[in-house]
Amino acid sequence: MNKLKHALRFCLVRFLTLLEIALKACLFLPIPLFMVWFSYKVDISGLFQGELAPREVANMLLAGDTVSNYEQMDERQILELYVQNLPEAQVPDTVALGSSRVMQLSGAIVGGSYYNAGMSGAGAMDVMNAWYLFERAGKLPKNLILCVDPWMFNGVSASDLNKKADPELFAEFLEKALGLASDYEEPDQLEIWKALVDPAYFQGNVKYYLKQRQTGQHETEDGETIPFKAMTGSLESLDFSVKFSDGSIYYPMTFRNWAYEEVMAEALAQAGTISAMHGFDTMDPYWTDLFDRFVRHVQAKGVNVVFLLTPYHPFICLHVYNNPQGLTGFFEVEPWLREYAAGRGIPLYGSYHAGRAGVLEPLFFDGIHCRPQALELMFPGIQAAVKGERTAYETLYLQEYGDVANTKNALIGYDPDCVVPNEEWYKYASTVTWAQLNARAAGSADAAGA
C-alpha cells in the first residue's frame, strides 16, 4: 500500500513539474511565434511572398493604383503574386489572357470587374499557366476573353516562344488540371520553411524593415531602388509605359504619337520578321490538340469563353499574302478558329486581317499592336459578348462591305473580298449607335410596308 502511495506521489510530482515547465515555456512561446510571423511577412529574400520588386507592383495593383515603368516589370512573377494575394471579394468577373496584343483591352471596353492578365511575348504555355494560377488558387472568373495569337499553333517556334514560361507550373497544369502525363514533381518545401525558424533570417528581415521605415525608400534586398511607383495626375506626357490596376497598359507619349512614317517603318521591320511565325508551315497537331483540351477544360469549369482576334496592320497582311513561303500555317489558323468556335458555341470577335474587321491604318501603334479604339469597334463589352452580340460598327460594316467570302472564310490575305474602308466612311460609321441602327431598320421596314 505504501509503495502504491509512493508511486502515485512520485507521478504527481513529476506531472506538476512538467506542467510548471510547460507553463513557463508558454510565456516565451510568443517570441518564436512572432519571429516566424515576422520573417514570413517581411520575407526579404522572397521565399514565401515573392521577390520584393514584383511584390510591390502586385500590392499596388491590388490597391487600385496605376504603376510606373511597365517596361521593367517581371510580368509573370507579378501575375503570380497578384493572384496569390487577390482577396476573394476582388476576384474579377472577367479575365483576359494573351500576349501584348491584348493589353490595350481595358476595363472601360470590357465592362464590369475585370483584369487583363496578358503578358508580352506570351505563347501557349504562358496563356495556360496564367489561367492555372487563377484555377489553382480557387479564384476563377465567370468569363474568359482569350486573345488567340496564331503563333500558339506554331510548333517550330514553340520552344523559343515559351522560353520565359514557367515549365514546372506548366507541367503541374498538364498533370493536375488536364490529367495528362508530365514530368511534374511536387517540390520539397522543407528547406525553404526552415528559414522561418532561422534567427539569422529574422535578423536580416528586422534590419531591412527598420531601414525601410527610417528612409521611406523602397529597395531590394541588395539595396537597389525599386523603380515602380504609384502614379497620380495626367499620364499624357510620360516617357515610359504604365500599368493600370485592371492590368491593361498605357504606352509612352513618344510611341503613341508616332508619325505615319514611323509607324510604317516599324511595320516594315516587323513584316520582315513576323515574330514567332517563321517555319509555320502548318498548324502543329500537339499544340492544336492541347488548345482544344484547354478550352474544353475551361468550359467544363462553367466559365464563359470568348475568342478575340486582334488585327495586324494592313501592310503586314499584304506582306504575308505576297510572301507566303514558310507562313502557310498562318493562313490556316483563323478559318480553323472560326469553325472551332462555332462548334463549341464560343463567340468570336475581330480578325487577324484589319480589312475584315474594318480597322484603318491610323488605328495601329505599329505593325502588330492596334489602338484601344480599334478594339472598341470590334468588341461590344462582355455582357453582350457572351450572348454573341455585335457592335454597331461591325454590323454596319458587314452591311456595307461584308459578303460570304469576307465573313465566313476569313482567310489571311489581301484580296478584293477584303475591304479596308476609307476614312470618310469610318468617321461616319464609328459614331453610329445601336439606337440609330434600330431606328434606321424600323424606318426601312415602315417604308417597305408602305
- In tens, the pLDDT along 306-338 reads 999 999 988 888 788 778 888 888 889 998 999
Distance CA 17, CA 20 (A): 5
Alpha-carbon gap, residue 206 to 383, rounded angstroms? 49
d(CA 329, CA 32): 61
Angle at 188 between CA 175 and CA 37, to 5 degrees: 115
Q: Residue 354: its pLDDT value, please?
A: 84
Q: Is 276 exposed, middle or buried (0-12, 13-18, 19+ CB in 10 A)?
A: buried
173-186 confidence digits (pLDDT tens)? 999 999 998 776 66
Q: What integer is the mean pLDDT of 100-128?
A: 96
Let me know: does 44 contact 208? Beta carbons within 8 Å.
Answer: yes
Q: What is the pTM of this model?
A: 0.82
Confidence grade of residue 432 (pLDDT, cut at 50, 70, 90): confident
Distances, alpha carbon 152 to alpha carbons 16, 121, 123, 226, 282, in Å: 70, 11, 6, 34, 12
The pLDDT mean for the chain works out to 81
Q: Are strands 230-231 and 66-67 parallel, antiparallel or unpaired?
A: antiparallel
pLDDT for 320: 80
Name which residue leads in pLDDT, 215 or 344: 344
User: Above 80 in pLDDT, residue 419?
Assistant: no
Provide the 3-class DSSP secondary structure of residue 206: helix
Amino acid letter for position 128: M
Q: Is 412 within 8 Å of 283 (Cβ atoms)?
A: no
Report pLDDT for 120.
92
pLDDT on residue 410: 46
pLDDT at 196: 54
d(CA 161, CA 352): 19
- Average pLDDT value for residue range 122-131: 96
pLDDT over threshold 60, residue 24:
no
* Of the ranges 43-57, 175-189, 273-287, 386-400, the best mean pLDDT one: 386-400
- 44, 202 Cβ separation under 8 angstroms: no
* 190: pLDDT strictly greater than 50: yes
Give CA torsion, residues 11, 15, 20, 22, to 10 deg: 140
Looking at residue 211, its pLDDT comes to 57
- The DSSP result for 85-135, as a single string, is T--GGG--SEEEESSGGGTT--HHHH-SSEEE---TT--HHHHHHHHHHHH
Q: Which residue has the cell 505593325?
A: 367
DSSP class of residue 306?
Answer: E
- 60 by Cβ neighbours in 10 Å (0-12 / 13-18 / 19+) ranks as buried
pLDDT for 448 equals 46
For residues 269 and 61, the model is more confident at 61
Examine the pLDDT at 29 and tell me if it is beyond 70: no
Q: Check whether 268 has a pLDDT greater than 70.
A: yes
Question: So what's the pLDDT on residue 394?
Answer: 87
- C-alpha cell at position 160: 523559343
Sequence-separated (6 or more) residues with CB below 8 Å from residue 387:
347
Q: State the number of CA atoms in the 13 A half-sphere of 139 facing the CB.
A: 20
Amino acid identity, position 376: E
The pLDDT of residue 152 is above 70 = yes
Residue 271 pLDDT: 82
